[in-house]
């Protein structure tokens, strides 16, 4: 029997409905909810995301302000600008848009956001609170992945003792997802975290009742290959097949695929990406899991796209209101 497809949209819609109600309560009480997005330089993908943020904020009653800065701004100057934003009492939340120009230290800038206004939950203080089971916000994508796992499992209590494997140990998804799941003292799943140095990944994933995977390994391989080709280097066409094949998954498992890999549909005999009818690279968007094969084996799986993404945005909005509640 084919797996249940875990659609993100209904979950995001329910979250946004509650966020809108919470935002209205604050506004009715004369308390502002304002999110400032800091954009440095021009990036088409980031611009698309900020447009989506603005629209989403408007839908739930959050004021949105995009602050743009030139791509040659110095580390010192952007930190000074962010300090002004931190000290603006009208601002209740701040998000730093990625990617950043190469000369800027992303981690230092992330830490430059006031922990009270850190709607992404990436400030070290908020990460520390997450470790100790406190705090009001968690990293958005990690929280979204866990939320979808809870939905697929049939409730938070159903996670108790569930053998859960997280593939990927980034600060954005892997590490915080593990911490979020281990919050409960008596109803937490049993969590194993795997990564690029894991010796036998299939050994772990095959025994897992649930798998959360977030590596983007195919995207990384493609970018490295493309960069090398542009330099004229003689490189072998990369294997862009999914990291997680169906035979690496347990029958009846729950799979939360967080990765969004934008890769070519194939290559010609010269190692160049196949072209579409417009003469551009023919691309496809896939996750880390072989969806078509896995859907015939597992109990539930998120699609890519259409799964974690919309819930990530909904979590950002929820975090923004939570920060506003704590500040006012």
Which distant-in-sequence residues (6+ apart) come within 8 Å of 294 by Cβ?
Answer: 3, 244, 246, 249, 255, 301
Q: Tell me the CATH number for domain 29-114.
A: 3.40.50.10860
Fold of 140-309: Rossmann fold (3.40.50)
Please give the model's pTM, rounded to 2 decimal places: 0.94
> Where, residue-wise, is CATH 3.40.50.720 in the chain?
140-309
pLDDT of residue 97: 93
pLDDT, one tens digit for every residue, the chain (328 residues): 789 999 999 999 999 999 999 999 999 999 999 999 999 998 777 787 888 899 999 999 999 999 999 999 999 999 999 999 999 999 999 999 988 999 999 999 999 999 999 999 999 999 999 998 888 999 999 999 999 999 999 999 999 999 999 999 999 999 999 999 999 888 999 999 999 899 999 999 999 999 999 999 999 999 999 999 999 999 999 999 999 999 999 999 999 999 999 999 999 999 999 999 999 999 999 999 999 999 999 999 999 999 999 999 999 999 999 999 998 6
Query: Which sign does the torsion angle of CA 261, 265, 269, 272 carry?
Result: negative
> Where, residue-wise, is CATH 3.40.50.10860 in the chain?
29-114
Cβ 83 vs Cβ 67: under 8 Å: no
């Amino acid at each position: 029997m084919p797996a249940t497809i875990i659609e993100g949209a209904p979950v995001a819609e329910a979250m946004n409905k509650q966020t809108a109600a919470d935002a209205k309560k604050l506004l009715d009480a004369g308390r502002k909810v304002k999110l400032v997005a800091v954009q440095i330089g021009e990036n088409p993908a980031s611009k698309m995301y900020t447009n989506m943020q603005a629209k989403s904020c408007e839908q739930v009653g959050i004021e949105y302000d995009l602050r743009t800065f030139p791509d040659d701004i110095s580390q010192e100057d952007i930190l000074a600008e962010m300090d002004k934003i931190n000290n603006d009492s009208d601002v209740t939340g701040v998000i730093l848009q990625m990617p950043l120009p190469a000369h800027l230290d992303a981690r230092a800038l992330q830490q430059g956001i006031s922990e009270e206004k850190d709607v992404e939950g990436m400030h070290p203080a908020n990460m520390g609170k997450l470790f100790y089971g406190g705090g009001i916000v968690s990293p958005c994508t990690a929280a979204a992945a866990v939320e979808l796992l809870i939905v697929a499992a049939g409730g938070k209590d159903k996670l108790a003792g569930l053998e859960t494997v997280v593939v990927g140990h980034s600060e954005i998804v892997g590490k915080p997802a593990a911490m979020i799941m281990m919050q409960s003292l008596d109803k937490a799943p049993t969590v194993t975290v795997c990564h690029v140095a894991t010796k036998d990944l299939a050994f772990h994933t095959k025994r897992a009742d649930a798998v959360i995977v977030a590596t983007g390994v195919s995207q990384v391989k493609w970018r490295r290959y493309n960069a090398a080709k542009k330099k004229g280097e003689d490189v072998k066409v990369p294997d862009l097949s999914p990291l997680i094949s169906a035979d690496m998954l347990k029958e009846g498992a729950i799979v939360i695929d967080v990765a969004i890999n934008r890769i070519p549909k194939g290559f010609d005999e010269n190692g160049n990406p196949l072209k579409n009818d417009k003469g551009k690279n023919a691309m496809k968007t896939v996750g880390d899991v072989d969806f078509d094969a896995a859907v015939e084996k597992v109990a539930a799986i998120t699609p890519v796209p259409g799964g974690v993404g919309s819930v990530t945005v909904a979590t950002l909005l929820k975090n923004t209101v939570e920060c506003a509640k704590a500040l006012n």
